[in-house]
Amino acid sequence: MLGNILLFFPFGALVRGVAKRKRGMLLTLGLGFAASLCFESIQFLYAIGELDVDDILLNVLGALAGYGISCGVCAAFRHRPGPSGR
């Protein structure tokens, strides 16, 4: 379970880097779902694994977590005072 979240964590941060601010979270949700559904479908079609709805939900959760934490990190660095303390 943790692996699914960690796998899509960078995906969410990447989408945050290229998305517009207002639609970033919605775009992360949609693209995370689409990518996860593609991976799960390939696993099912080629009998590599099982198609599991929990995996899709955890992958999307990982993408949203990556998006959210990257937003927090960027906000923290944006409001940090410079070397002169101003």
pLDDT digits (tens, 9 = 90+) for 37-86: 999 999 999 988 888 899 999 999 999 999 999 988 888 887 766 666 55
Asked if the structure places residue 34 within a domain, the reply is yes
Asked if the structure places residue 84 within a domain, the reply is no
Asked if the structure places residue 8 within a domain, the reply is yes
Asked if the structure places residue 39 within a domain, the reply is yes
CA 2 from chain centre, in angstroms, equals 14
Overall number of domains in the chain? 1
* 3-class state of residue 22 by DSSP: coil
Query: What residue type is 84 in one-letter code?
Result: S
Q: DSSP state, 21?
A: T
Give the contacts of 28 (CB within 8 A, at least 6 positions apart).
11, 12, 15, 16, 19, 63, 64, 66, 67
What predicted TM-score, i.e. pTM, was given to this entire model?
0.82
Structure tokens at 6: 């960690």
Where in the sequence is the domain holding 73, given as residue range(s)? 2-78
